[in-house]
Amino acid sequence: MAPSKKRHASDQTCVIPGGFTVLPLQFSADSAAQHDLYVKEHKVRAATGSHRPLDRTLFVLNVPPYCSQATVRELFSRFGGVQSVELRDHPGSFQESGPELTEFFKPAEKKGFKVGYVVFQSASSLAAAKSHPHDVPLVVCTEGRPVRTGVQKWIQQYAESFIQPEELQRMVDSFLEDYDKRKVEAEERQKKEAEQQEEDDEGWVKVTRGHNGAKARPHSEAANRRTLQKEIRKKKRKELINFYTWQHKNTQKEHIAELRKKFEEDKQRIALLRAQRKFRPY
């Protein structure tokens, strides 16, 4: 939707404590009830990056349940081009991009009011949204943009809950292909790490540069296992008996001394037994 050419009257803007601007929301043109959205410029640097620029991101509170991301995009496109819309249950940092989950693995969506982050393509669109007059409500449901509620919405959700066998098969095939691809990549990465972390005969580990110039860590499970086996072999070599001549002589001396000690103990025991024995012919 093209930006509105109507000049917004800044003197009719309603600003409440906290720096929030009140934007009236009306479900349809003939609806008597209105709903208020509270918007302000998003200025949280800790959660701001290229996805939420400081000068083009609008923070929106009190978004009603019947407003989807597409609906919010259409509502705010009257102020200018909208780059992205994000709806969340609670304010917070940006959700990092990860593997896209199908509807089978996504948790059930919570029903209730949400908070939104609207990123405009231009900073002037943000200023236009903040200066929108309070007596001109934003209409959600129009002839060109119908929004279903109540029984019609339930019927639509029930019809969309059924998945055709062809679509289900396509989703399964896509998931398996992605799984096989990630498995092959993991095996190649483990093989490459094993080659980079090979030890030489003296126990040295070759450490190479990893991704983006970072040092690769040699403490992998395979490297730890090889190091443990090497230590066991070294310990066994140290425990070898009679490896040198002087070790053999010392072992013989210790063995002879132990035999002599045992011989003297046996003599004393025999003498004690003879002393205790008494001659009793009758």
Average pLDDT over residues 262-270: 91
Q: Which of 10-14, 131-135, 161-165 has the lowest mean pLDDT?
A: 10-14
Average pLDDT over residues 42-67: 80
Task: Convert the pLDDT of each residue in 136-160 to its tens digit.
Answer: 888 888 888 888 777 887 888 788 7
List the one residue out of 145, 159, 135, 161 whose CA is nearest residue 67.
145
For residue 84, what are the contacts with CB-CB under 8 A and spacing of at least 6? Answer: 51, 117, 118, 119
Architecture of domain 10-160: 2-Layer Sandwich (3.30)
pLDDT at 6: 44
Higher per-residue pLDDT: 9 or 122: 122
Task: Convert the pLDDT of each residue in 171-190 to its tens digit.
Answer: 889 889 999 999 999 999 88
For residue 263, name the pLDDT band (cuts at 50, 70, 90): very high
Residue 6 in tokens: 């109507």
Is 137 in contact with 24 (CB distance < 8 Å)?
Answer: yes
Q: What is the pTM of this model?
A: 0.53
Average pLDDT over residues 36-64: 82
Average pLDDT over residues 200-209: 56
Q: So where are the chain's domains? A: 10-160, 199-239, 241-274
pLDDT at 31: 83
